[in-house]
């Protein structure tokens, strides 16, 4: 597994405002969108491309376009939806699938309740969107889901990660180079409720309100 922590002052600034409990939902949603666009720039560094010949107003030249099959962006519902626009802004030609997963608050196991993905992902580059990598259970289940269907490589884009969750993902993935985690920051630890500390609270609730 490869881990990339985005080291940029704009990322740090936006993350600080997100952490603030006084930040209202409307501002929170806007900042998540902006922050994900910055993370997407790092996450797509190795996206597959092909050379194409084009004609500019001056001359014929060789340029670069995204290769086929198109990348697949997969937000994990519901909180991952708040990251979708920021990701597709940078990858407008990508296809979008959805995974509905939630954590059982007693067992901390991931439960899949919805799936809108192609059955065959052979050769596809997939980008998972989930704001918080806490225990790692949900992300491991999602990565496993994609790899079993033939995904060529998987990049998880998260706002925050806990060391405990990263260890769980790394233990599952091992030394596979085709799985990457891109985060804005790695925080201190998990608390007794498996919330990231200092974290930013429940990302879904802060994006959409308490349901």
Tell me, what's the pLDDT at 88? Answer: 93
With a pLDDT cut of 70, the percent of the chain lying above it is 95
* Residue 107 pLDDT exceeds 70: no
* Residue 164 pLDDT exceeds 90: yes
What are the tens digits of pLDDT across the range 117-134? 888 999 889 999 999 999
Q: Which region among 67-71, 154-158, 164-168, 206-210 has the lowest average model confidence (pLDDT)?
A: 206-210
Q: Is 112 in the active site? A: no
Q: Mean pLDDT across the stretch 100-123?
A: 76
Q: Is 153 in the active site? A: no
Cβ atoms of residues 147 and 119 within 8 Å: no
Instruction: Show binding-site residues for 5-phospho-alpha-D-ribose 1-diphosphate.
Output: 78, 103, 130-138, 202
First-to-last C-alpha distance (Å) of the chain: 35
- What average pLDDT is seen over the chain? 91
What are the tens digits of pLDDT across the range 132-149? 999 999 999 999 999 999
Q: Is 120 in the active site? A: no
Domains of the chain, with CATH numbers? 2-48+67-208 (3.40.50.2020)
Give the confidence band of 160 by pLDDT, cuts at 50, 70, 90. very high
Cβ atoms of residues 15 and 195 within 8 Å: no
Instruction: Show binding-site residues.
Output: 78, 103, 130-138, 196, 201-203
| Structure token pair of residue 153 | 């490589």
What are the tens digits of pLDDT across the range 40-94? 999 999 999 999 999 999 999 999 999 888 899 999 988 888 899 999 999 998 9
Tell me, what's the pLDDT at 79? Answer: 84
Instruction: Print the SS3 string covering 90-111.
Output: HCCCCEECEEEEEECCCCCCEE
**Distance between CA 57 and CA 155 in Å, rounded?**
37
**Distance between CA 66 and CA 16 in Å, rounded?**
34
**Distance between CA 73 and CA 41 in Å, rounded?**
14
Options 103, 112, 144, 178, the catalytic residue: 103
Residue found by looking up tokens 């050769």 in the block: 123
């Amino acid at each position: 597994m490869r881990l990339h922590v985005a080291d940029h002052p704009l990322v740090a600034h936006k993350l600080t405002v997100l952490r603030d409990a006084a930040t209202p939902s409307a501002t929170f949603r806007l900042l998540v969108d902006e922050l994900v666009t910055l993370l997407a720039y790092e996450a797509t560094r190795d996206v597959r491309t092909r050379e194409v010949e084009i004609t500019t107003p001056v001359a014929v030249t060789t340029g670069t376009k995204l290769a086929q099959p198109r990348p697949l962006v997969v937000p994990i519902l519901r909180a991952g939806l708040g990251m979708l626009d920021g990701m597709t802004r940078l990858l407008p030609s990508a296809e979008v699938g959805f995974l509905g997963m939630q954590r059982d608050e007693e067992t901390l196991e991931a439960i899949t309740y919805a799936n809108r993905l192609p059955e065959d992902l052979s050769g596809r580059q997939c980008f998972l969107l989930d704001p918080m990598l806490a225990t790692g259970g949900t992300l491991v289940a999602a990565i496993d889901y994609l790899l079993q269907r033939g995904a060529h490589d998987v990049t998880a884009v998260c706002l925050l990660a806990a060391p405990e969750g990263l260890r769980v993902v790394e233990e599952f993935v091992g030394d596979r180079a085709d799985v990457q985690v891109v985060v804005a920051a790695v925080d201190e630890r998990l608390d007794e409720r498996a919330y990231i500390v200092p974290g930013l609270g429940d990302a879904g609730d802060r994006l959409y309100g308490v349901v």
